[in-house]
Amino acid sequence: MNAGIPKDFLPEWVRSEGEAGDVVISSRIRLARNLKGFPFPGHAGKDQLEQVVKRVSEAVGRTGTFAFLPPIRLADLTPNQRLVLVEKHLCSPQFIENPAYQLLIINEAQTVSIMVNEEDHLRIQAIRGGFALDDALKLANDVDDFLEEYLDYWYDERRGYLTSCPTNVGTGLRASVMLHLPGLAMVDQIKQMLTALTHVGINIRGLYGEGTESLGNMYQISNQVTLGHSEEELTNNLKGVCKQIIEQERNVRANLLKESRLQLEDRIGRSYGVLTQARLMTTQEALKLLSDVKLGADLGIIPEIQKVKIRELLFLTRTSILQKVFGREMSPAERDYHRAMIIKEKLNAK
């Protein structure tokens, strides 16, 4: 039915459930850095931005340690190819808005990406599957340390790393965790929880970060400030908050199993039935139904489903990735048809 999906098409972390994979989809660390002697990207001229691109390219080209692929010039890509990078969480939606003088560097496993000339000269990102902030922090710091051997960063002894946005000054670190919270959504506790998080210095974002909406009961939570705290303090604070949310979500799920098992099984069964029988499927509907089926697999209600298949489908059903898989741009109706077919094929495969 489809052209075949190469094993390395999706990022390595998508297939790695990791710790607390029933609730945590992924853990990410992003470091903001700027090159000394150059204005921030928003105030730099074309020649200066090109110089930043050249210097970073030369620095990255000095190593095979991180298995970096050839740098990608965003201006050389089609709009759909750029969106694929966003949907794989390799770059931000803001990064692809003005592709001139922008460069993306990724490693073979697609667990590391470096955005050049986004809001800052460098946005170094490391992402891991499951609850693995410490692993992501180590990977991001290893890349940062390597680059700093060849690049001179803007750094102030009192303020730390200087960035274009004041909220990133200091460590320049943004730690974030993608959470799957269907239980809290079912009992209508999401808004209450999200309100409480804002009072303890935690940001809540949608599926693709700032300015995007939540889909499939997935939420990104991250630290708000970076100044005055060490990288370890920021990471540990977020870990503590995440542990509380994980516990709340698991408690709600256990209570739903105890008090409303039949209704829960019915909801999950209906979602599974639609996914395996539908001929047309929108992105929003697919993510909503896959959220229910993931919950069913995690609770053992539908143990026959391999959890990795659900994780893969959460990405393969997204618009630009789907078109990339089939090798062409499609009309909305064509996408809905092929999305339904790829879901049916994967869920029915032994």
Q: Binning pLDDT at 50, 70 and 90, where does residue 210 land?
A: low
The CATH number of 12-253 is 3.30.590.10
Q: Binning pLDDT at 50, 70 and 90, where does residue 254 land?
A: very high
- 206: β partners: 209
In the chain, the N- to C-terminal Cα span, in Å, equals: 16
Can you say how many angstroms the Cα of residue 75 is from the centroid of all Cα atoms in its chain? 23
Q: Domain coordinates of the chain in residue numbers?
A: 12-253, 260-348
Q: Binning pLDDT at 50, 70 and 90, where does residue 207 land?
A: low
Per-residue burial over 7-43, b if 16 or more Cβ lie within 10 Å, else e, is eebbbbbbebbbebbbbbbbbbbbbbbbbeebebbee
- Rounded to 5°, the CA angle 121-125-130 comes to 165
Considering the chain, what is the average pLDDT of its residues? 90
Q: Binning pLDDT at 50, 70 and 90, where does residue 234 land?
A: confident
* 99-129 pLDDT, tens digit each: 999 999 999 999 999 999 999 999 999 999 9
* 48-93 pLDDT, tens digit each: 999 999 999 999 987 667 889 999 999 999 999 999 999 999 999 9
Per-residue DSSP letters for 10-77? Answer: S-GGGG---TTTTTEEEEEEEEEE-BTTS--GGG--HHHHHHHHHHHHHHHTT-STT-BPPPEEGGGS
AA identity, residue 47: D
Closest by CA to 87, choosing from 95, 346, 73, 334, is 95
Q: pTM, whole model, 2 decimals?
A: 0.90
pLDDT of 349 reads: 77
* 143-160 pLDDT, tens digit each: 999 999 999 999 888 888
Q: Binning pLDDT at 50, 70 and 90, where does residue 174 land?
A: very high
